[in-house]
Amino acid sequence: MAAITVDLIDRARENVPALLADARRRLPHLAYADLRLEVTESRHAIAENGAERSSGDDYACTAGVRVLAGDRSVAPGWLGIVLGAADVADLEARLREALERAYRRAMANAEHKATAREKFGPLGATLAELKLYTVDVRRDVVPAVYRIDPRSVPLGDMVAAAVDVSRAIAAAEPSVRYNWIPLLTQLTRELFASTEGAVIDQAFALTQGAASVVAVGAETSQELYDVMGHQRGWEVIAGGVDDPLLAFPPFRDFALALAHDAAELAAAPPLPSSEREVVVVTDPHYNTLVSHEIVGHPAELDRALKMETAYAGRSWLLADLDAHQVGQRIASPLVTAYSDPALPGYGHYAYDHEGTPARRVTHIERGIFRGFMNSRQTAAVFGGEPNGHFKATSAALVPLIRMSNTVFDGGDADPARIVGDVDRGYYMVGHRIPSIAESRENFRISARKVYAIERGELTRLYRDGGIAADTRAYLMNVDAVGRDFRLYPIPNCGKGQPMQSKKLGNGGPTMRSRARVLGG
């Protein structure tokens, strides 16, 4: 019995449409069903403090089914399963069984929903018929892009590469007492098929190098973590990434730079807090997290429609269907922000996980809020066409509305002038850790490094500091946007219950605004 490979999708692409057609014919009151099947072939290696720690090459095969069904009402039912090599011979039977169980859940759910609608009088009225906004039904194949096939990389080479970087850090920075270096390369192939006739076969390569370092100084230690990567093959680790919007040096240099920062910061003083707002200049890496937290998350329509109230929170951009910020000014005219799956990097894809062709959605256009990332269901509730942002981290898990590449657009200012024009202020270099209010109406984000700006020059370096601000006021106060736009990977965006940790892209240029700075 051979291990599962991505080639399993070839067989599924032939057989799954018939399974769905059969379900539609056979199962009464089935309104819609879709099935996702995903195979990943991955390899990893980890070094720690210059020594081998672990490695592995394996496959993961998962499937997920959504069924909308019901007699007196229509409601959803979902099921996720993990598949192994032993299931390959009976793959179609396993998928059929999954469809039937999801159908049973949907039918039971619809019956309860109809009963609740009758039973709870005025409060039952919003238990509405579930609709999906109509989208183009596509049949398509999207190949992965890579030069060195992730499946071809010898594990020994990966272990050696991780150990080399780990030892180089220890040799270069004596104050770095701990380092952890994981490398990952993988090829994923996803099938999406629906009872509407969609059949989409997408493949993605992904290669990532990460570094976690702890530098110990006289008074404290500094723990830093950062990730480089791209939806490409193993070539990314040795050669880096050289895309106009997404650029990294070779991984060894990337990790050594992080270690150098940690060593430098362990000897730096903590940032003193300001009593009031001051001028702050934020670099593209820092704005990657700002765009993520205060533009991306509140522009997710499931969150805005209260579907995440118990978990990730709501959005200050929407009170209800008639009271929202669409068309309202929420930022300076210099600020434009959007989510674009066509950009390269971790947030790139052609179709989301309900088969919707992915397209750019503008969130802020020269300061005016324009709209949300959505799914077919939320688009049917709020209006507007689906834009392809319904994504899951595994086929076994339900899709959620997720960012693709959510960014601040670049401007035309010279980044050096943005700093040079500041008499007194602070320059935030690199993002570190966020803490955001429930509806994203205010935030605090720490920076990797903070420099004082005095008379247009960067002077003292500080550790353990960042900014805190009211979101709208911060965006309204933006008075300079640089032309140095950059994209970065975010490897671990958490959302959902159970938590899904998603890889996606964020970015922006150098920007200037006003905020309180807070030290540690």
Partner 1 sequence: MRDLGELSRAAEQALGWARAQPGVSEVEAFVSANAALLTRLNYTSHIPCNGVEEPKSVESYGIGLQIVLDAPGGRRLGFGSEPNDLSVSGIERAFDKARRAAVADPDFVSLPRPLAAPRTLSDYHDPALMRVSDERLVEAGWTIIGGALRTFLASSRLADLADGEEALRRLGLIISGDVTMIQERMAIASTAMPHVQTDETTLITSFVTSMVEAHAAKGSGWSTGTRLDDFSDEAGGEAARAAIAALGGTRVPSGRYTVVFGRQPVADILNDLVLPACNAETFYASASPFLGRLGRRVASSALSIYDHGAMPGMMGSKGITCEGLPTGRTDLIREGVLTGCLSCWYETERLMRDPQRADKLGGADDAVRAAALVPRNGFRFGAGGGRQFASRPSIAATNVVVEGAEPLDRDELFRRVGNGLYVGRIWYTYPINGLRAGDFTCTVTADSYMIRSATSASTPSPTSRTPVADPRLPAIARACRVQIIRMLAHAGSGQPGRPPRPATW
Interaction with partner 1 in 90-109: which residues (CB under 8 A)?
Answer: 101, 104-105, 108-109
Before 498, cis peptide (omega within 30)? yes
CA-closest candidate to residue 506, choices 269, 340, 274, 312: 340
User: 84 vs 41, 62, 186, 303, 515, CA distance in Å?
Assistant: 13, 9, 18, 35, 52
To partner 1, the closest distance from the beta carbon of 190 in angstroms equals 17
User: Between residue 125 and residue 144, which ones bind partner 1 under the rule CB under 8 A?
Assistant: 125-128, 130
Please tell me the distance from the alpha carbon of residue 44 to that of residue 51, in angstroms, as a whole number: 15
Find the part of the chain contacting partner 1 (CB under 8 A) among 244-252, 328-336, 406-414, 438-446: 438-446
CB nearer partner 1, residue 189 or residue 463 = 463
CA-closest candidate to residue 95, choices 14, 37, 39: 37
Please tell me the distance from the alpha carbon of residue 74 to that of residue 365, in angstroms, as a whole number: 37
CB nearer partner 1, residue 180 or residue 247 = 180
Please tell me the distance from the alpha carbon of residue 336 to that of residue 354, in angstroms, as a whole number: 28
DSSP codes, 323-369: EE-TTSB-S-TT--EEE-TTSSSTT--SB-TTSPBP--EEEEETTEE
- Following CA atoms 370, 373, 374, 379 in sequence, which dihedral angle do they give, to the nearest 10 degrees? 0
Q: Which of 55, 145, 253, 260 binds partner 1 (CB under 8 A)?
A: 55
User: Between residue 178 and residue 217, which ones bind partner 1 under the rule CB under 8 A?
Assistant: 178, 180, 214, 216
Q: How far is CA 318 from the centre of its chain?
A: 22
Find the part of the chain contacting partner 1 (CB under 8 A) among 10-18, 143-151, 338-346, 460-468: 460-468
CA-closest candidate to residue 4, choices 52, 61, 72: 61
**Does residue 85 belong to the site contacting partner 1 (CB under 8 A)?**
yes
CA-closest candidate to residue 318, choices 335, 306, 336, 330: 306
**Does residue 165 belong to the site contacting partner 1 (CB under 8 A)?**
no
**Placement of tokens 């579930």 in the chain:** 130
Q: Which of 433, 457, 473, 483 binds partner 1 (CB under 8 A)?
A: 433
**Does residue 152 belong to the site contacting partner 1 (CB under 8 A)?**
no
**Does residue 116 belong to the site contacting partner 1 (CB under 8 A)?**
yes
**Does residue 438 belong to the site contacting partner 1 (CB under 8 A)?**
yes
CB nearer partner 1, residue 290 or residue 490 = 490
CB nearer partner 1, residue 193 or residue 397 = 397
Which residues, 6 or more positions from 418, have their beta carbon under 8 angstroms from its beta carbon?
281, 480, 482, 510, 511, 512
CB nearer partner 1, residue 84 or residue 333 = 84
Backbone angles phi, psi at 302, to 5 degrees: -65, -40
Q: Which of 32, 78, 254, 346 binds partner 1 (CB under 8 A)?
A: 78
**Does residue 466 belong to the site contacting partner 1 (CB under 8 A)?**
yes
Which residues, 6 or more positions from 337, have their beta carbon under 8 angstroms from its beta carbon?
291, 295, 331, 362, 363, 364, 406, 407, 408, 409
Number of residues that bind partner 1 (CB under 8 A): 104
Please tell me the distance from the alpha carbon of residue 137 to that of residue 114, in angstroms, as a whole number: 30
To partner 1, the closest distance from the beta carbon of 162 in angstroms equals 10
CB nearer partner 1, residue 176 or residue 368 = 176
**Does residue 397 belong to the site contacting partner 1 (CB under 8 A)?**
yes
**Does residue 38 belong to the site contacting partner 1 (CB under 8 A)?**
no
CB nearer partner 1, residue 81 or residue 256 = 81
**Does residue 473 belong to the site contacting partner 1 (CB under 8 A)?**
no
CB nearer partner 1, residue 178 or residue 360 = 178
Q: Which of 14, 18, 26, 54 binds partner 1 (CB under 8 A)?
A: 54
CB nearer partner 1, residue 113 or residue 232 = 113
CA-closest candidate to residue 67, choices 94, 105, 114, 36: 105
User: 242 vs 162, 182, 423, CA distance in Å?
Assistant: 21, 22, 35
CB nearer partner 1, residue 94 or residue 360 = 94
Find the part of the chain contacting partner 1 (CB under 8 A) among 251-259, 325-333, 457-465, 478-486: 457-465
Backbone angles phi, psi at 115, to 5 degrees: -65, -45
CB nearer partner 1, residue 289 or residue 480 = 289
**Does residue 28 belong to the site contacting partner 1 (CB under 8 A)?**
no
**Does residue 51 belong to the site contacting partner 1 (CB under 8 A)?**
yes
Find the part of the chain contacting partner 1 (CB under 8 A) among 174-182, 248-256, 279-287, 329-337: 174-182
**Placement of tokens 């009031």 in the chain:** 276
Q: Which of 10, 118, 136, 223 binds partner 1 (CB under 8 A)?
A: 223
For 81, the token pair is 């399963």
**Does residue 36 belong to the site contacting partner 1 (CB under 8 A)?**
no
User: Between residue 501 and residue 520, which ones bind partner 1 under the rule CB under 8 A?
Assistant: 501, 518, 520
User: Between residue 238 and residue 277, which ones bind partner 1 under the rule CB under 8 A?
Assistant: 270
Q: Which of 5, 24, 29, 80 binds partner 1 (CB under 8 A)?
A: 80
Please tell me the distance from the alpha carbon of residue 339 to that of residue 389, in angstroms, as a whole number: 9
CB nearer partner 1, residue 2 or residue 242 = 2
Quick note: the x/- pattern for partner 1 over 309-328, rule CB under 8 A, is xxxxxx----xxx-------
CA-closest candidate to residue 237, choices 150, 176, 167: 150
